[in-house]
A = this chain, B = another copy of it.
Amino acid sequence: MATRTRRSQRRTEALSRERIVEAAVELLDAAGEGGLTFRALTERLATGPGAIYWHVENKDELLGAATETVVAAALAVEPARTPDSPTGAPDSPAEAPDSPRDEIRAVALGLFEAIDEHPWLATQLATHLSRSPWGSVAPRIFESLGRRVRALGVPEGSWFLVTSALMHYILGAAGQNATNARAGGGGLDRDEFLDATATAWEELDPDDYAFTRAVAYQMRGHDDREQFLAGIDLVLTGIAATHPPDA
């Protein structure tokens, strides 16, 4: 029976931290946070739990490593181009030197899309962003946004506040959206899910939820990405108004 070992992967390459993290990301993408177990991991890697523990401290560290990998990839794109065509994929070489504002939009959108593709990221980013010893993912995002905030001309005394506010909006919005992405993935397609949610809103108590009922129809057709970027613009405008460049 030793012959019938599942070789879900070719067995040529040796085990490595990298391969383990890669498999972890695949499991998380396929089945969410609950999909990442050491049993599933050992089966996929055709090995035993002990082997994994030799390369990785524990499950928490593994989750952290998976998060770092995905976030690093999202930030590495360093995209450009004005988001005029919201559908356009960034693959042609970028030449035009973008404004800091456009770059912030692009970084934000990169994170948004990463969370959209890997909904399990939301939990990680929302609450486990700082760990001991300090994970590198929070500073990475902070740095990427902060450089553009500086380029925007925000006075130095406001750098921390402004960059934090931007990051909070991005993580909050992307997190909410991940919930939708997840729910959408489970059977219903996106439009059906939106419609079901809008309908649920419309059936709330008229006294307690007058406002929510009144905007339910706006939920029905809305485009997540567009809304997200509109929110970014709102925050950027707020930044310009409350922390204008030094005179």
Contact = CB atoms under 8 A, between A and B. Distances in A.
Nearest to A171: B172
Given A164-B231, A237-B242, A173 B176 contact: no
A142 interface: yes
A17 interface: no
Interface stretch (A41-49, A81-89, A215-223): A215-223
Interface stretch (A3-11, A99-107, A129-137): A129-137
Contact of A241 (B170, B178, B241): B241
SS class, residues of chain A in contact with chain B: helix
Contact of A172 (B162, B169, B215): B169
Given A130-B197, A172-B168, A179-B130, A143 B212 contact: yes
Nearest to A126: B126
B128 A179 contact: yes
Interface string A185-223: 000000000000100110010001111101100110010
A238 interface: yes
A69 interface: no
Contacts of A233: 242
A234 interface: yes
A175 B126 contact: yes
A54 interface: no
A126 B160 CA distance: 23
A120 to B, nearest CB: 9
A230 interface: yes
A161 B235 contact: no
Nearest to A160: B218
Interface in A126-172: 126-130, 132-134, 139, 142-143, 146-147, 150, 156-157, 159-165, 167-172
A183 interface: yes
Contacts of A172: 126, 167-173, 175
Contact of A234 (B142, B219, B222, B235): B235
Interface string A86-130: 000000000000000000000000000000000000110011111
A227 interface: yes
A165 B157 CA distance: 25
A13 to B, nearest CB: 30
